[in-house]
Structures are given as structure tokens and as C-alpha cells.
Amino acid sequence: MRQIVLDTETTGLEHADGHRIIEIGCLEINDRRITDRHYHVYLNPDREVESGALQVHGITDEFLADKPRFADIVDELIEFVQDSELIIHNAPFDVGFLDAELARLQRPEPIRMADVASVLDTVVLARELHPGQRVSLDALCKRYEVDNSGRDLHGALLDAELLAEVYLAMTGGQVDLGLELHAPASGRGRTGGAPRVSTDELIVVRADAEERAAHRARLEAIKAAAGRCLWLETESG
């Protein structure tokens, strides 16, 4: 199953007020493995970045002045995410901005993100798994022990990278920490993989009945929250 973790940065909080996307970061998960395929672009929004947004992501008007516009990159973005499942933290925000950008193109056949890919909102998933708990990306990184020490400012590609690791941990899958993006925008990527050890050094400890029951309950909870659980599907197959 091909999934795309997507994040954006914007000039402000509300696209209805004319705010625009200034950064898009996407990376691919294929069969629950983070691949080296990613898409990343900065955009000229043709308007100023609000001071509040600038404090969040640090992306200045001067930096964006020579960057392409959304209309220049929309086809390659659509090609990258086409027919995937988009994994987005607080999806209504990012999808709302993307749909607003698509609407501005005034193409003969209007398109929305729902026409391109399905969407999974990890805020909704996190609230189902951890009711009453904080579900910000930073809080989830802490809960699932994902290293976000390099996140001094928000960045679309960095945040997509962190969310990919959180999502895989949150849905019970293995996070492959050994892969690096070819050209991370900030130079701040995942931590290195665990050291390799010989299988001769491993001690196998079998789960008892109580542990197996707890494991089964955890898988059923994942299935209930996410709609599927690959481990259960493998067992039934």
C-alpha cells in the first residue's frame, strides 16, 4: 500500500482570509517502509508572511521571492500523490489550503485533493488511541520516542518525516530509522539505525498466554482505530 505523508507551511492560519501555501513536504511510505522518495518545494505566495506564522516556521518573504508559484508545480505534486493515501496531521488545515490553491487555478475541470487521493488524519487517529491526551506532533514524538530535537522551527519536510515515524509507531509497525532522504532541506533527519548484531547473540523469549492475549487486544485496537491491521491480515491469510 502506497502512502504519502504530507505537510505544508503557510503565510497564516486561514486560507479563507487569502493566506497561501509557502512550503510543501511529502515523503513516501510503501508497504509500511519509509522509502527514499520525497517531494519538497518552497512557493512564492504573492503576499506577505504574517509575523505570527514567521515565528513558527522562520520562512521570510525575501527567501520566497524567487521561488515558483503553486501553478508552476501543481502537476508534479499531483503526480507524486496520485492514488495514494495521504497521511496528514490535522488534515482539514492542509487539505483546505491545498483545495484553495487548486481552486485559484480556475481550470476548466476543477479538482480537489479528494479527487486525487484518500486522506487519513493522524489527529483523529491519535485521539482515538489516546483519549484525553495531548496529540500535537511534539507530544506524539515524545510518547513514541521519536527524536524531534532538531525541530526548533516547523518545516514541511521535517514535520512529514517526523509524522511518518510517529504514524508507523502509532499503528504498531516497524519504523525503519536507517533510511535517509537524499537531500533533506534542513540537514536534520532521522537518527541512525540501530547497530547490527549477529543472530547467534540473540536470546529468544517466548510470550506467555497473558502476553499473547494483551498483544491480540492491541492489534484489535489498532484495527478498530485505523480500519485495518496488517499483522491480523497476515495471520488470517
Q: Which residues are catalytic?
A: 154
| Cβ-based neighbour number of residue 221 at 10 Å | 14
Which residue, 8, 222, 218, is CA-closest to 95? 8
Specify the DSSP element, H or E, that contains 37. strand 33-42
User: For residues 161 and 26, is the Cβ–Cβ distance under 8 A?
Assistant: no
Q: Determine the angle formed by the axes of helices 91-104 and 70-81, rounding to 10 degrees.
A: 130
**3-state DSSP assignment of residue 160:** helix
User: For residues 85 and 60, is the Cβ–Cβ distance under 8 A?
Assistant: no
Find cell 532541506 and name the residue: 185
